[in-house]
Structure 1
């Protein structure tokens, strides 16, 4: 109705993914709507993990290509550097990694779609012996949908909660996961959940915390303190 131009990634702006694990991925431009700025064949490293972040990077580049005429100072090298160094705490963020200790990943997945994206990334990009899931979520979210995605991937589940009035209780979360056939433990704080997971984990295991931005924020706020007394199974 507004006669606005439409750019579709995958039709007008195309790329080929380069995917070599959670710590190395990128894309190669195959068709660009602004070849004078981003010519076909240009390669971008993308610092954010997960195949979905390549999609997000492609959309961002396509948007920049659309408005580049208004910003004559845009520079290809700056775009490449930006995507190669961008940081997004709490999004498939690796807090520690093996091989002599368990890997710990935090992700703010807080709905069914983001949980599905997380499962894809964990399945495709990480190798591990066992997966320990730390989970906490607001009671007004589609908790059942998230659990149905994440729990089947886990060998052990630790339910927890953040200090927020919307947070579901760990007992309620454990009850929801009770019929999914996985052992479930309950903790009353995020710090307690992380401590419990680290104590149970061994080198080669993967600990994943997810379900709520608030839970992940709580974990990140306590991480420096928790690191001072790490013990592993």
Structure 2
């Protein structure tokens, strides 16, 4: 493994990222011992007065974005840490809705480099600590932390957070978490804290979630029990309820409704002051790239509809299919797809049976990438394979009619590459 000299705070971000990839033996290294020692040295275990940590198979980013929008509307200074990014590393760290600049990120990297000394950290661990440092340095009021993988052993779990959230539970990251949903539930519930609120937005979760909450005496709020929501199809609004507290005539958000309901419950028990107006306006304004994201340009009315979505497992694919059927019921659908080989490719693609008219399977690059041939083997059709998502997307643009839909999905990498190409060429 090639190693590099430690960069300076003024070094380019690209130089820092190459360095951070070289200083640890593996990209993923679950465990808290090393990262916790550095966090304690740098006094980063409580980076803001209020911290909310979000775990889950799907919906973490959307839930953070919804809470972020509501809190900013209420006047709070909000820091968000999420992963992975679509195009630029800077997307992982936001303060008040804005990505952190290269110079502020490299400053935070330099600070963590000084604190870690001889302790080896993975890129994700280093990035997590640098985000905490940035939030503390910029004195944010609220930090929203998106768990990277699992929960119990994830680097974000070194933080003394005030509210814990599990958005959803399904089998994913089999190589790291296995395929036992009870074990997965226990790993995600590992972010729960004794005597503090723990929100679960997954209906009928595995018993390990409630069992762990009971074991540590966490205050569990389970959807369908302590809180619930329903849609009024006639008025195209929805309502939310927890105990004697009701919110009616809420606007349907641009992000998944289940995550909005979970976000409201978490904010409701956070102790933060919010008005109904903050919630309504925050729901209306919340967006997140790569989640049912529509690409447009000056002549969009003359082109096919283009939707980007990072759905990459059966659970998220099922939701995407529901949205596509609801919003585009009569369109011919062209699907550009690229996936990672450690995902459940067969079950994910099977969700689109009878939905996709033309497939454009693409190979991704990197150690976890699946080749296009792995996708065509599952699709069981004579299909042209493409060397990259952008190559596949270019052909889809040529072949699709103006009334058609081009759907790009399967991975953050797939969506990121196509979105980057579109931003440069549109």
Fold conserved (TM > 0.5)? yes
Report the equivalent of 1:89.
289
Q: Show the counterpart of 1:14.
A: 228
1:111 pairs with 2:313: yes
**1:212-231 deviation digits (Å, cap 9, x = unpaired):** 1111111111112342xxxx
> Is the Cα contact below 8 Å between 1:26 and 1:43 reproduced in 2?
yes
How many residue pairs end up in the alignment?
210
Answer yes or no: is 1:218 the counterpart of 2:417: yes
TM-score by length of 2: 0.46
Q: What's the TM-score, normalizing by structure 1?
A: 0.80
- Give the structure, 1 or 2, with the largest relative contact order (CA under 8 Å, sep 6 or more): 1
Give the Cα separation in 1 of the matches to 2:275 and 2:379: 50
Q: 1:63 to 1:88 in 2, by over 3 A?
A: same
Provide structure 2 residue ranges, at least 5 long, that are not aligned to the other structure: 1-214
1:63 aligns with 2:263: no
Unaligned regions of 5+ residues in structure 1, if any?
228-233
The answer to whether the 8 A contact 1:13-1:33 is kept is yes
**Contact (CA 8 Å) 2:340, 2:364: kept in 1 or not?**
no
1:125-148 Cα deviation digits (max 9, x unpaired): 223331111111011111111111
Residue in 2 that maps onto 1:128? 330
Report the equivalent of 2:251.
Answer: 44
- Over 3 Å counting, the alpha-carbon distance change for 1:117 and 1:176 in structure 2 is same
**Other-structure match for 2:399:** 200
In the alignment, is residue 32 of structure 1 matched against residue 234 of structure 2? no
Aligned to 2:366: 164
CA separation in 1, counterparts of 2:232 and 2:400?
31
Larger radius of gyration: 2
Question: How far apart are residue 112 of structure 1 and its match?
Answer: 1.2
Determine if contact 2:237/2:251 at 8 Å carries over to the other structure.
Answer: yes
Q: 1:103-158: per-residue Cα shift (whole Å, max 9, x none)?
A: 11111011111111111111122233311111110111111111111243111100
Distance 1:7 1:42, change over 3 A: farther
